[in-house]
Structure 1
């Protein structure tokens, strides 16, 4: 099951964030102990004063090709588990996330 949900405005994505992760990157999809799926993201920023949250929204905006203003934190401001909304064409955003997470898992480009 995909860790994102579609809406008329775009998508909402469930994330598991690792601050101070050594690099900024999307590491694929993980299934949590409770069965939920999340997109694993790591950022170099520390979890202090919202720096990691800013880094996450900037990373997602860049990866999905949308303006930073189109990515906003819905919940989990002080947690590793976050819910983020991305405004835009839901089908394009979902396909982009599918390709990004597949590439992260295989280390290769996903086939179109």
Structure 2
């Protein structure tokens, strides 16, 4: 697998649905059964887990954190992000 496994999603306007698992044993972005799963070690309080998800997802697609915007799911495990130009 390449260092940017989700690089094809870096196009502006792309919407990315992810399922988040907080309090995991390690930080990881993984594709399971055609679904993007993000595992973070942070606890889901005060937006800590969301910040870590943005950081990991941005790194996986090869874009800046500021290019990802959370559209839906701020308090849910299922989140939808949009890549900005």
Question: What TM-score bracket applies, with the shorter chain setting the length?
Answer: 0.7 to 0.9
Q: What value does the CA root-mean-square deviation take over the aligned residues?
A: 1.8
**Structure 1 residue 10, shift from structure 2 partner:** 2.9
Q: Normalising by the residue count of structure 2, what TM-score does the alignment of the two structures yield?
A: 0.78
**Structure 1 residue 68, shift from structure 2 partner:** 0.8
Q: Which has the higher contact order (CA 8 A, sep 6+)?
A: 2
Q: Normalising by the residue count of structure 1, what TM-score does the alignment of the two structures yield?
A: 0.61
Larger gyration radius, structure 1 or structure 2: 1
Structure 1 stretches of at least 4 aligned residues deviating more than 2 Å after TM superposition: none
Give the match for residue 75 of structure 1: 72
Give the match for residue 82 of structure 2: 85
| Alignment equivalent of 2:24, drawn from 16, 21, 25 | 21
SS at match of 1:21: coil
Unpaired segments ≥5 residues, structure 2: 1-8
SS at match of 2:69: strand
Unpaired segments ≥5 residues, structure 1: 1-5, 31-36, 89-112
